[in-house]
Amino acid sequence: MPSTITVAQLATIIDAVPTAIVIVDGQGRIESVNAQAARLFGYTSGELLGETIENLVPHRLRAQHPRLREGYVHAPQTRPMGAGRDLFGLRKDGTEFPIEIGLNPITADEGLLVVSAIVDLSERKRLEARLRAAIEAAPTAMVMIDPAGTIVLVNAETERLFGYDRDELRGQEVEVLIPPRFRAHHPGLRAQYLSLPEARRMGESRDLFGLRKDGSEFPIEIGLNPVESDEGRFVLSAIVDISERTRQANETLWVANEALRRANQDLERSNLELRRFAYIASHDLQTPMRSVTSFVELLSATYADRLDEQAQDWIRRTVRSVHQLRTLIQDLLEYSRIDAVERPFEDVAMSGVVEDALALLGAALSESGAKVVCGALPVVRGDRSQLVQVLLNLIGNAIKYRAAEPPLVTISAERRRDDWLFAVRDNGIGMEEKHHQRIFEIFQRLHDPQDYPGTGIGLAVCRRVVHRHGGRIWVESELGRGSAFHFTIAGREAPTS
Ligand code: ADP
């Protein structure tokens, strides 16, 4: 073997190295110790020279050491010592301390030498112990996994939360803590996290669940922390049971829902009561109204010549008012009846509906010189007389709210995916956009009865009928530029006329 270096030369080199280094010969005799190594073990360098290395090995491990040492000499290579075992050094004062040792065989003039670099692990072990203690005492369940996803550490809270003893968990894949339906995806997600690790919450956009030993599940929230170590990237996860929070949130939601449901019920009840009242009031008012009308008419017919002009004027006014009141009562009665009728829906040809409405408008139509243009209209499922009511109100309004020129009313229908869209357009006075919603409320009018007579019920009737047919009604209009009333009705057949 060619000579390469002497112990003396080596000693000079290792003295300059900040690591503790001990050089032994093939028999385990200490050939050289640098100052750091001597200090680490509590000796002076001179004290150790010529002693066997076993002096630095704790008594309990000493017996087996020469055998291990000789094994190394027979197959020397650069490697860490005691793979998988915890190593300890023995100080001169008899105390032990954890160490890590790297072994390097060197061929010197004196033969084979083994250079051991010794690292004191006390500080690291202390930190590790402190970390473990902190994890153990944490009020949150904490689970540490190694790069392969194997559980290496769990704390007391994890045992409590998942119902396992720590020995049952250590060495298992972390997937045991996850419900089976999420397991297949998990290793992929884990790998993803390891490739881009940062402290963050897990599953921001998903609901996460933990699986107890007894098979039950519970909602959780997880915080992830990468932990770098010599053995690779570990992940420390903090797991919080959010059952209570979820339960409370659900409870709040339930309470809110319940309140909403009750408010809705109240509203429906009061709507129903209102309609009942409207029905009873208008129905019961009809008879006395009729007798008021007949008596006033009788009065004016029988005593006309005996009454002066003033009295006659009052009677005329009374007749007008009574007439108006009767119209109001009739409209109200009609409005309150919309939901009361239980007539089943039938196939209704909308062209016939328009014809009926036009016939009912009769005089108003001819007097105004109106022109009505009607496109092809479909057959829909509905309540025929109510649909006549809708068209009567819409066409009637189109004529009533006319501008200077004779009214032109266009009626059309258009097939959409699930319904028919109808339009009744006019060239009348139109209205400002701010009124577009309001006019469908009962009694809402934009005009003085002197200018345009009416009760403000017609469009409210239209809306109720359209709603009853599962549709919607709205207006598109501008002041002075006419109006287009649109409504939808669920329809199934092709236009027939
Ligand atoms: P009424 O016509 O009896 O007043 P409606 O409920 O039918 O009641 O209409 C409510 C209000 O909407 C009307 O007073 C009117 O101001 C406005 N309106 C309805 N139709 C039209 C229309 N075609 N053009 C302009 N304004 C209209």
Q: From CA 121, how far away is CA 65, in angstroms rounded?
A: 20
Sign of the torsion angle spanned by Cα atoms 352, 357, 360, 363: negative
The rounded distance, in Å, linking the Cα atoms of 206 and 221 is 10
CA distances from 49 to 20, 112, 443, 460 (A): 15, 17, 113, 110
The DSSP symbol for 64 reads T
* 3-state SS assignment for residue 494: coil
pLDDT of amino acid 10: 76
Which residue, by CA, sits nearest to atom 4 of ligand 1? 456
Average pLDDT of span 404-432? 95
User: Quick one: what percent of the chain has pLDDT higher than 70?
Assistant: 95
Q: Separation of 385 CA from ligand 1 center, angstroms? A: 21
pLDDT tens digits along 185-240 = 888 888 888 887 777 777 666 788 999 999 999 999 888 888 887 778 888 898 98
Cα-to-centroid distance, 439 and ligand 1 (Å):
7
Tokens representing 180? 């089976």
- How far apart (Å, rounded) are the C-alpha atoms in residues 17 and 23? 13
Question: Quick one: average pLDDT of 309-326?
Answer: 84
Q: Ligand 1 centroid to 484 CA: how many Å?
A: 12
Q: How confident is the model at residue 82 (pLDDT cuts 50, 70, 90)?
A: low
Distance CA 412, CA 311 (A): 51
Q: Please identify, by atom number, the ligand 1 atom nearest to the C-alpha of residue 398.
A: 23
Contact (CB, 8 A) for 477 and 436? yes
**Minimal CA–CA distance to 160: which of 207, 213, 237, 236?**
213
Residue 284, number of CB atoms within 10 A of its CB = 11
**Residue position matching structure tokens 């025929």:** 384
- E-assigned strands of 161-303? 200-201, 208-211, 217-229, 232-241
pLDDT tens-digit readout, 420-455: 999 999 999 999 999 999 999 888 889 887 888 888
Q: Which residues contact 166 (CB under 8 A, 6 or more apart)?
A: 154, 158, 159
What would the pLDDT profile of 361-385 be if each residue is shown by its tens digit? 988 898 999 999 999 999 999 999 9
Q: Report in angstroms the alpha-carbon separations of 70 from 24, 63, 74.
A: 12, 13, 6
Residues with CB under 6 A from ligand 1: 393, 397-398, 401, 426, 428-431, 439, 444-447, 454-460, 483
Closest Cα partner for 398 from 371, 417, 418? 371
Cα–Cα distance for residue pair 391/412, rounded to 1 Å: 12
- Distance (angstroms) between ligand 1 centre and the Cα of 370 equals 17
> Which atom of ligand 1 is nearest to 430's Cα?
25
- Substitution site in 394, 439, 448 for ligand 1 pocket (most atoms within 8 Å of beta carbon): 439
Q: How far is the CA of 472 from the centre of ligand 1 (A)?
A: 17
Q: What is the CA radius of gyration of the chain?
A: 49
Question: Crossing angle for the helix pair 458-468 and 309-337, nearest 10 degrees?
Answer: 10
* 211 Cβ neighbours under 8 A, 6+ residues apart: 162, 176, 177, 178, 179, 180, 217
Q: Atom 14 of ligand 1 has which residue's CA nearest to it?
A: 445
Strand partners, 475: 485
The band of 492, judged by pLDDT with boundaries at 50, 70 and 90, is low
Distance 348 CA to ligand 1 centre (A): 26
How much is the average pLDDT of 265-291?
A: 75
Which of 141, 74, 126, 76 is closest to 102 using CA atoms? 76
Residue 489 CA to residue 497 CA, distance in Å, equals 17
pLDDT at residue 458 tops 90 = yes
CB 406 within 8 A of CB 370: yes
Whole-angstrom Cα distance, residue 131 to residue 122? 14
Residue with tokens 């209704």: 348
Closest CA to 125 of 171, 158, 89: 89
Strands 96-108 and 208-211: unpaired
At residue 306, the pLDDT reads 87
- Closest ligand 1 atom to residue 485 Cα is 23
Would you say residue 495 has pLDDT above 50? no
Q: How far is the CA of 350 from the centre of ligand 1 (A)?
A: 22
Which residue's C-alpha comes closest to atom 2 of ligand 1?
454
Pairing of strands 408-415, 371-374: parallel
Is residue 329 within 8 Å of residue 288, measured between CB atoms? Answer: no
Confidence of residue 84 (pLDDT cuts 50, 70, 90): low
Task: Return the best residue to mutate from 329, 372, 391, 401 for the ligand 1 pocket (most ligand atoms within 8 A of CB).
Answer: 401
CA of 408 to the centre of ligand 1 (A): 16
Tell me, in angstroms, the distance from the centre of ligand 1 to residue 397's CA.
6
Atom of ligand 1 nearest to the CA of 455: 3
Candidate of 338, 372, 426, 445 to mutate for ligand 1, largest count of ligand atoms within 8 Å of Cβ: 445
- Residue closest by Cα to atom 7 of ligand 1: 458
Reported for 259-264, long-range contacts at CB under 8 A and 24+ positions apart, including other chains, are none
pLDDT at 496: 47
| Whole-number pLDDT of residue 497 | 45
Across the chain, what does the average pLDDT equal? 87
Task: Quickly list DSSP for 180-214.
Answer: HHHHTTHHHHHHHHHHS--SEES-TTS-EEEE-TT
Q: How far away, in angstroms, is 289 Cα from ligand 1 center?
A: 26
Going by the DSSP 8-state scheme, the letter that residue 443 receives in this structure is T
Q: What share of the chain is helix, strand, coil (3-state, %, to 5)?
A: 45, 25, 30
**Which atom of ligand 1 lies at the shortest distance from residue 426's CA?**
23
pLDDT at 3 over 60: no
The CA 427 to ligand 1 mean position distance, Å, reads 14
Distance 456 CA to ligand 1 centre (A): 7
The closest residue, in CA terms, to atom 21 on ligand 1 is: 397
Structure token digits, residue 267: 């509203």
| Nearest Cα residue to atom 8 of ligand 1 | 456
